Amino acid sequence: MSSKSSRSTFPAPPQVRRDPRDPASIFIVVSGFDSAGHFFTEHTATINISDNGCCFRLNREVPVDSLLAVQTLDQDSDAPSRPALYQIAWLERLTKGATVGAARLHGEANWYLALPATNESQTPKA
């Protein structure tokens, strides 16, 4: 599935990150307010992840700096985990929706795989 991009990116994805991102497709539920101010809940999947952030596509645009709740889906029951609070750091507009980069502000990362160790004490344990 190929999505054409209008290549409008606000602001550009950072060249230097706090920690490396790993390619991973993890099913998530994202909730927040879109650019029109409407509340939404959308099921999507990550493109890449780290302990402090992730990248994913949405079927709508959200404002840069907006706050979103992100929940992973439990692998055994499809029940959502506790939500973590993320802030949109950058956005790339697509023909329909956007690809976004989000930084974790509060809550656990909840990724169901081992992430590379970081210098922070909140690195998830396998």
Does position 124 have pLDDT exceeding 50, yes or no?
Answer: no
**Residue 112 tokens, joined:** 């169901």
Domains of the chain, start order: 17-106 (2.40.10.220)
More reliable by pLDDT, 57 or 22: 57
pLDDT (tens digit per residue) in 12-42: 555 555 678 889 988 899 999 999 999 999 9
Phi, psi values for residue 31, rounded to 5°: -130, 145
Give residue 121's pLDDT band: very low, low, confident or very high (50, 70, 90). Answer: very low
Question: In this predicted model, which residue has the larger pLDDT, 8 or 39?
Answer: 39
pLDDT for residue 81:
77
pLDDT of residue 73: 76
73 vs 70, more confident? 70
> By C-alpha distance, which of 106, 115, 125 is closest to 46?
115
Mean pLDDT confidence for 59-66:
96
Residue 76 has a pLDDT of: 64
Mean residue pLDDT across the chain: 80
Provide the pLDDT for residue 122.
46
Planar angle of CA 36, 49, 102, nearest 5 degrees: 25
pLDDT score of 37? 97
